Chain A
């Protein structure tokens, strides 16, 4: 039986951070995964779902179901988008004619490090950084609490040459992004971001690694505005040695 694996790049990575998608794609291909990229893919529907716009979310999620129907696994470089499908598609399609299909696809959607470690059983992707680097991990909320992703990135990162992981207080504390929360509740979101920047500035590290491009974008937006030289990078970038 052939195992058909699809890559879901996510809208943010596709349009804003394509290099993260390329890194993730490359890591998976190097593990011998025959990765397919369904061209018609767009978004998981989370922005509408999180704002309470169920009908709009379902329309976009139905498109997701159409695109990824034939695959045995869907892998994405985002804990948040994976959690949307995994955790919330069954809720979104409750009582809907496509409920069973949604549940099936939800169960087959994986975040990148989760797929590498838990499905492929890989903890060393052979990555090496160009120079000795100290890095802290920011555990992005939806991957961490929604999917229980914590040990997988650490297992993979601990095998990257030239990389030392350091503890960051509040590593599992939200950065304040929360999608449209950053717009609708921007003052609170900004205060949460400030707490995160303080935590990052309090750690002796060169970079911060996270598994979600959206949180990365939010924190980097804050660091850059504050004139800080520090940056958050995506775990896929580190696992291809491009930091």
Chain B
């Protein structure tokens, strides 16, 4: 990933179609979540329960992963471990060869976006079809998802209709229902032809070795049960301890992600088809990937692993609302992306992201597992400063600032000088229309006020002087 953040931001802000799509998508996301969370008796208590469930999992991660492995094997499945993205792709390629797989359908999986699995499979002559409607459209367009839950949030329905018309000959329509019906016709055939189904994992329940996925289209259920081979892919942090924890998390996920009380399909998969069962895959593999996560565990960033990928912080974030997902440059956009991207890829790979926040806290307020996102953004900024990221200009500026602001004399003197300078620049209007760099960034879009003739402390002294005279 190259750091093109500033350029991507400008492109995004000037993309009218994107702005329309973002307005529609994020507004709907925010409103739906608020209504759905409002229906619960005590939303904050529920969030706290969810937080505790995730903490229980992260605090016992090695044990729970081993328990999960034992139970998946006991259920007749296989467990494979991938240290990083490259290993994950190799494992799945090996499985494709072993089972003579030519065609794959894939349900939604952010982990396979991390490893760019589609490219790896296609490069080896294997056809991969995304089965989630949004993911499928993104794949058709040759793009990447721009949202964790709504991968095509950056596209308007009008642009989607045009794409389906151009690529697949769909008759033009402005009705999402018609587009869905059309794509369903295409997809049904893919499921029947596929040799392998791949899905992500929302929760892996350690106590029974059950893989829980959540969806609204039924595509995941078809992907995971129709083809002969089923491969579920998860990051190590997706394991949870018990069904009780699942019960709390699954409803919060639905309410936070889409504003539903429950998602339409809550799939629970415990192993391949048994002898007395009519359908299901012949073989089941669970692939568990680390890819940098274990490095975060036990650090002051550990709570970022509590994330259940609901996307609520994206919808709520005024920065995401304005720039969309692609500007963030990697798989995970929005506030949570600004944390996990530098943590997973290394801080120098995304040095702008921790600063891409006004620290307004809307993300934390929306998070169903109470992740203190602004606190972690601040720590990442601290790390960047310690690693020598800021330019000498910023360093000198901050040093000057601290020197002046820890000395009352220098502070007053600085205030006087800034006062004179701003009043000079403002002239009679009292408003500054243009400031020198770097402050011209402010005056490009806003006026800046002149400082007051006399400061609060001077006025107070004068007033108190008068009072004692009287």
Residues of A in contact with B (beta carbons under 8 Å apart): 9, 11, 13-19, 21-22, 25, 37, 39-43, 45, 47-57, 59-60, 62-63, 88, 91, 141-142, 145-146, 172-174, 176-179, 181-193, 195, 217-218, 220-222, 224-225
B399 at the interface (CB under 8 A from A): yes
Partner of B382, one of A19, A52, A145: A52
Known interface pairs A18-B452, A50-B381, A221-B447; A181-B441 also in contact (CB < 8 Å): no
Tell which of B358, B383, B460 touches A174, judged by Cβ atoms closer than 8 Å. Answer: B358
Q: Which B342-383 residues have C-beta < 8 A from chain A?
A: 354-362, 364-365, 375, 378, 380-383
Residue B459 at the chain A interface, CB threshold 8 Å: yes
Interface residues of B in 413-470 (CB under 8 A from A): 415, 418-419, 431, 433, 438-439, 441-442, 444-449, 451-452, 454-460
Asked whether any CB of chain A lies closer than 8 Å to the CB of B394, the reply is yes
B447 touches A224 (CB 8 A): yes
Interface SS majority for chain A: helix
* Docked complex Cα distance between A226 and B369 (Å): 40
Could you tell me if B361 and A146 are in contact, using CB atoms closer than 8 angstroms? Answer: yes
What are 27 A-B pairs with beta-carbon distances under 8 A? A11-B405, A11-B411, A13-B456, A14-B456, A19-B452, A25-B460, A43-B411, A48-B402, A49-B378, A51-B390, A63-B406, A91-B375, A172-B362, A173-B360, A174-B362, A181-B357, A181-B359, A182-B442, A185-B355, A185-B356, A188-B319, A189-B358, A190-B445, A190-B446, A191-B323, A195-B322, A221-B447
- 123-181 of chain B: CB within 8 A of chain A: none
Docked pose: A206 CA to B401 CA in angstroms: 37
Contact A60:B359 (CB < 8 A) given known A9-B456, A54-B385: no
CA distance A52 to B361 in the complex (A): 17
User: B358 to A141, Cβ gap below 8 A?
Assistant: yes
How many whole Å from A137's CB to the nearest CB in chain B? Answer: 16
| Beta-carbon contact of A221 and B456 below 8 Å | no
Q: Are A178 and B360 in contact (CB under 8 A)?
A: yes
> A45 vs B446: C-alpha distance in the bound complex, in angstroms?
24
How far is it, in angstroms, between the C-alpha of A17 and the C-alpha of B442 when the chains are bound? 18
Instruction: Find chain B residues with CB under 8 A from A17 CB.
Output: 449, 452
A56: which of B399, B439, B454 is its contact (CB, 8 Å)?
A: B399
A118 shortest CB reach to chain B, Å:
19
Q: Given A37-B457, A63-B405, A186-B442 in contact, is the A192-B358 Cβ separation under 8 Å?
A: yes
Other A-B pairs, 11, CB within 8 Å; known A15-B451, A141-B360, A187-B13:
A18-B452, A42-B408, A43-B405, A51-B398, A52-B382, A145-B362, A177-B358, A182-B442, A188-B13, A221-B447, A225-B445
